Structure formats: C-alpha cells, structure tokens
Amino acid sequence: MSAAAEAAPAAADFAPRSAEDVLSPARDFKPAPVEEKPRTPIAPRLAVVAGWIGLIAVVLLIGFAAVRYRQDIATIWPQSAGVYSSLGLHVNASGIDFRQVEYRRETEDGQVVLAVTGQIVNAAERQLPVPQTVRVTLSDANNHELYHWTFKPNAQVLGAGQSVKFMTRLASPPAAARHLEVRFAKDGS
C-alpha cells in the first residue's frame, strides 16, 4: 500500500451508526465538576440572632421592673427619685405619702374654720416610721405663703400598705388663701 492509501481513512470509519448509538449519550461522558460556593453554616447566624433577641428581652424586662417597682426602688435607693421624676413618674422616696387630702370651710360659733382631712399611707413593702411633723401651708394665687401650721399624726409606725386618717383645723384662715399644701416637715419647721 502506498502512503496515500495509508493516510486515507478506511470506509468503515464513516459507516453510519445505529440509532441507539446516535440517540444515547456517550457512555464515557463525565460532567465537569461544578464549583460550589462555600456555604456559611446557619447555626452561627441563628446564635447571633438569638443573642440579640435575648439581650433585647433582658433590657425590656429590666425597664419594666424599674417602672413597675419604682416606689420600692426609690424607698431603698432615694437618689433614684430624681431620675424617676425627670421621666415624669411619681415616686416618694420616703415611702410614706398623703392621699385623699381634702379641705372644707365650716362656720363654728360665727367664725370660719378650715378643716383639712386625708390619709397618711405607707406605699412601701415594709414597715416604716411615720414622720412626726406634718406641715400645712396656705398660699395666695401667686403661690406666696400666707400662713402655715404643723400637727402630729396619729401613728408612729405604719406596716406595708397601712394607712391612718388625719384631721387638722385652723380657725380664721386668711381670706386670700387659694392653695393648700400638706407635706412632712422636720421637727420645728
């Protein structure tokens, strides 16, 4: 055979294939490897989210407790009363407070008498001593003090949640009096 015959492909190489060979995929075909992006595990992300949710829950719980138990906190730690009042929340650092304070003008033997009544209440969760001087102040329309007087309450100690009524009277109160204030005072003031 000549060199040209050797270079020419044999006719058998161009023989038509069977339908099975044409339609079926190559048996030795291997798909190219797909590069996957490395996945970050979900557990660390869930831990971070759970941590933030837990922190928010703790902060909200502390805030709720600080508002709910503000009277007890102010009784134990009186300096906190300023913080609560700056937030617009009423607290009484001593734990003893006045409630249902009322006044009325009466006439007895032709003379005007001012009668002041109310309750002294222990708002704390423990027994507390009652300050022994209560001061009643009368002031005019411009809040200038016109007259004041003191009296001693009927109790020396009040248990948690207890109250005691009080009543005091003043004969011939100033006619210009427009405001009345009842508060605890240091002895003699």
CATH, domain range 96-184: 2.60.40.10
Yes or no: say if 177 and 146 are a contact pair by the CB < 8 Å rule. yes
Residue spans of the domains in the chain: they are 43-93, 96-184
Spatial neighbors of 38 by CB under 8 A, at least 6 apart, are none
pLDDT of 27 > 70? The answer is no
pTM: 0.54
User: For strand 179-184 and strand 134-139, is the pairing parallel, antiparallel, or unpaired?
Assistant: antiparallel
How many CB atoms are located within 10 Å of the residue 137 CB? 18
Alpha carbons 54 and 169: distance in angstroms, whole number: 57
> For 93-135, what is each residue's pLDDT tens digit?
777 888 999 999 888 888 889 999 999 998 777 888 888 888 9
- Token duo for residue 60: 């909200």
